[in-house]
Structure 1
């Protein structure tokens, strides 16, 4: 027997599906190029900026809820989710139309870059179900459970957003256009 509310039960299948489909789609689409597509080299600075905005929204949202401004928190979180979706769309569009850029740094910086990139990628996969579960628990008004998982989701999501900007800044000198 499940302790989930009807709202949580309604969304559980979607959470599982999206948590599997999004990372798989990104992985597959990263290697699929649209034939004769116009490259979109202008997108990385835009989606890196969106990552930065997401981090700021998340921090302000936590401050808002700690100050009892629940509606502001809710709206900021919806904006953060919207920014993440916008990022995802642009990221996929860029990688389906534009050749990948190789990091050109050497020595210790190369290891730092790949460490940040690897943790960013792995946590961006993990953050999908965490964000969705956290959001659904708020929708279901299970604020005790929402708060418990949000304490895990928040720092990981902020890390993913900030490292997205860092990865862009580190690789941007090596873009060829």
Structure 2
């Protein structure tokens, strides 16, 4: 991670960017659900399986990163976390592509209460995890590992929950695609 000292103005700018992204991303995703594009001859029905796999990979990366940091393998931890963030960004792009090109799928199984509980908590926490992960990463990038550790106590379990429940939601709804 970068440890060069930033000026207070730079720090304030980075924090403003994090807050802006934390608002813009969920709003953009919500608004994009209203847009439907049907590209001629293109079928994106395979994407839910792809982005569920990316969620699974993210979960494995998060667990591996925890093991790495507990073993004091900080460079490996950093690489794993950057890869997890990259996977989350790729997930977001593919998720958006799928939902602007495809209709939503209704869950028709017997476990509707369980499915919707997992889905709703997944969605709510996926919105909240954006600023948590960005601030956690920001503090590590700053070299402020005390704040990084404090933020990690909240961001890590929520991010892991979102990654794992993304896979569970897919497995539960996939028969109805």
Is 2:171 aligned against 1:169?
Answer: yes
- Provide the aligned C-alpha RMSD in A: 1.3
What is aligned with 1:32? 35
Q: Does 1:85 align with 2:89?
A: yes
- Partner in structure 2 of residue 159 of structure 1: 161
Structure 1, 136-145 or 28-37: larger mean CA deviation: 28-37
- For residues 174 and 28 of structure 1, do their structure 2 counterparts lie closer, same or farther at Cα, with a shift above 3 Å needed? same
Runs of 4+ in structure 1 over 4 Å off: none
Q: Trace 1:16-165 onto structure 2 (pairs within 5 A).
A: 16-37=19-40, 38-106=42-110, 109-165=111-167
Where structure 1 has 5 or more consecutive residues not aligned to the other structure, the ranges are: none
In the comparison of the two structures, how many residue pairs are matched? 170
How far does the alpha carbon of each residue in 1:26-67 deviate from its partner, in whole angstroms, 9 at most, with x for none?
111012101455330010000000000000000100110111
Quick check: 1:34–1:96 contact (8 Å CA) kept in 2? yes
CA distance in 2, matches of 1:146, 1:154: 11
Q: TM-score, normalised by structure 1?
A: 0.92
- For 1:132 and 1:156, how far apart are their aligned partners in 2? 13
* Structure 2 Cα separation of the partners of residues 5 and 81 of structure 1: 25
3-state secondary structure, aligned to 2:28: helix
Gaps of 5+ in 2: 1-5
CA positional deviation for 1:159: 0.2
**Structure 1 residues 36 and 78, CA, compared in 2 at 3 Å: closer, same or farther?**
closer
Q: Deviations over 1:123-160 (max 9, x none)?
A: 00000000000000001100001001101111100000
TM-score (norm 2): 0.92
* Greater alpha carbon shift after TM alignment, 6-15 vs 58-67: 6-15
**Residues in 2 aligned to 1:88 and 1:53: alpha-carbon distance in whole angstroms:** 14
